A = this chain, B = another copy of it.
Amino acid sequence: MVMSEIVKLLKSAKKVLIVTHVSPDGDGIGSTLALLHGLNQLGIEGHVVIDDEVPEGFAFLPQSGKILRYPHEMDGYYDVAVAIDCSDEERMGNVKELYMRLPVKINIDHHISNTMYADYNVVDSNAGASAELVYQLLKLLGVEFDSDISTCLYCSLATDTGRFMYSNTTSITHEIAGDLLNNGADLRKIAEEIFEKKTLNQVLLIGKAISTLNVVEDGTIAYITVTKAMLDECGARPGDTEGLVYYPKSIDGVEIGLLFKEEDDRIKVSFRSKKVDVSKIAAIFGGGGHVLASGCFLEMPMSEAVEKVVQACARAVKDVH
């Protein structure tokens, strides 16, 4: 069994490199920190090294300040490398160079598209989050689940399963979550920091974005547009548009919700669908993604981009009905 080999490798490691993907999410940050805590508890040295910043929202996680940003001074000394939540090595960003040249490479992930790029691959697409696999690994390592580890892993589970409401949620997800609560996971802290906290600028941007809402094609397509000027007026950052596409998509009767966002010299389009395969629509414009969530970029003025994309969406909606 691969897991038990990994346990042996980690227990005899001199120093462990722990990696997750760029644009790290709650599963990536929570799972890597949980493994770091666990190894430290066993007296095994390690570092979490990522090629990105830790998003502000996850700064509350125990010892997130210990996460190192690649490149840094310690990279020569690792003898075991663990990648968590990376479907392929490219997802690691530049840290992949460090990861790929280490003598022992471990890959722990739950993405169905995982390319099995490591020497030891623990990939289970039935897991609601990579954290479920890290949980199993920590159990096998004999780690005691303290509140720090439990909070990190609960954060991973809650974010990656949409607070236990995405279809990747299973009875195992719930079983682990229950165990983490028993071991002191601070779910209120997680809720406050991740799900209940916004900046003033983000809230102002929601209001301004909704003021641009348009519902067209018999109520089946809804979109909002965010210009650079709007971001400036709200004092918002580009990342603050995250989640805005939820508003048009959530409207009763809407099949496709769209967000058009003005960037330097192009329009970024986010598609969210209830049933229609929007990855095909995004592909028309050179983009891609998932069936119900995709995106593309258009190099043209906002009004033209809206017209072209809405037309393509309208055709797709009609094809379905």
Contacts and interface: CB of A to CB of B under 8 A. Distances in A.
Given A197-B250, A203-B250, A252-B200, A171 B165 contact: no
Interface residues of A, number: 51
Contacts of A191: 162, 165-166
Contact of A158 (B165, B215, B252, B253): B165
Contact of A181 (B170, B179, B188, B250): B170
B210 A204 contact: yes
Interface string A146-179: 0000000000001000111111011111110111
A314 interface: no
A252 B197 contact: yes
Contacts of A181: 169-171, 174
Given A174-B181, A178-B170, A203 B197 contact: no
Given A165-B195, A173-B178, 5 more contacts: A158-B164, A170-B181, A171-B179, A174-B177, A206-B206
23 contacts: A158-B165, A164-B177, A165-B195, A167-B187, A169-B181, A170-B178, A170-B181, A172-B178, A174-B178, A196-B250, A199-B251, A199-B252, A200-B215, A200-B251, A200-B253, A203-B213, A203-B250, A204-B213, A206-B247, A207-B208, A207-B210, A207-B211, A208-B211
